[in-house]
Amino acid sequence: MNIPDDLPELDGIDQALIRATQTGLPISSTPYSDIGLGLGLSPDVVEQRIQRMLDVGIIRRIGIIPNHYKLGYQANGMSVWDIEDQLVDQVGEQIGALDFVSHCYRRPRHLPEWPFNLFAMVHGTSRDVVEAHVAEIRDLLGDAARDHRILYSRRILKKTGLRWHKGGERKCCD
């Protein structure tokens, strides 16, 4: 996977803002102004920078990040599909648009042991629900799906969302 040529440039101010907000925004009446205070930036600059990062897709969205498990969506099944190469993009768009699928990606096969080239994360309140959703996908795809499997998560072994560490001595990202 290559870094795209049109990668939007991030300067020191953007990087400082990313570091200051990657664990969250202050939950106060004036969150952007509060972030600026800590960094010596005016509220206007903070808002403009964040708006730009949102516009170019560096920020996907701003809001609450729900905890699926706590909300009752305990069954998280990674469904994987073997789809003919010529059809995979069309099928991917279809599956990605389903409201019980949170992520949908095309990834390489590792033949012979791994024939699956489409990954779709399916969320449900129980395994039965996840299986019903997967059956729905299978019906939708018909012959386009040669094979599929559901990989349930048993345990989270590690989970950190951090990209750049506080202090910023993260070897080469700065």
Partner 1 sequence: MNQLERDLLNNLQGGFPICPHPFRLLAERLGYSEETVIKGVKNLISDGYVSRFGPLFNTEKLGGAVTLAAMSVPPERFDAVAEQVNSFEEVAHNYEREDHLNMWFVVLACDENMLENVLHQIEEKTGLNVLNFPKEKEYFLELKLEVPQ
- Contact status: 83 vs partner 1 (CB under 8 A): no
Residue with tokens 């700065």: 174
- Per CB under 8 A, the segment of 14-22, 129-137, 138-146 that binds partner 1 is 14-22
Cα distances from 6 to residues 1, 9, 14, 58, 99, in angstroms, run 14, 9, 17, 12, 30
Rounded to an integer, what distance in angstroms lies between the CA atom of residue 101 and that of residue 134? 10
CA angle, corner 47, sides to 43 and 48, nearest 5? 115
In the range 121-140, which residues lie near partner 1 by CB under 8 A?
123
Q: 159: which residues sit within 8 A by CB, 6+ positions away?
A: none
In the range 29-48, which residues lie near partner 1 by CB under 8 A?
29-33, 43, 47
**Judged by CB, which is closer to partner 1: 1, or 12?**
1
Backbone angles phi, psi at 134, to 5 degrees: -65, -35
- Contact status: 86 vs partner 1 (CB under 8 A): no
Q: Are 153 and 7 in contact (CB under 8 A)?
A: no
- Contact status: 5 vs partner 1 (CB under 8 A): no
Q: Which of 18, 41, 130, 144 binds partner 1 (CB under 8 A)?
A: 18
- Contact status: 96 vs partner 1 (CB under 8 A): yes
Backbone angles phi, psi at 139, to 5 degrees: -65, -40
**Judged by CB, which is closer to partner 1: 146, or 152?**
152
- Per CB under 8 A, the segment of 101-109, 131-139, 140-148 that binds partner 1 is 101-109
Min dist CB 142 to partner 1, Å, is 18
Residue with tokens 């590792």: 110
Q: Which of 106, 115, 129, 131 binds partner 1 (CB under 8 A)?
A: 106
Q: 129: which residues sit within 8 A by CB, 6+ positions away?
A: 75
Min dist CB 156 to partner 1, Å, is 6
Name the amino acid, one letter, at 97. Answer: A
Q: Which of 84, 147, 152, 166 binds partner 1 (CB under 8 A)?
A: 152
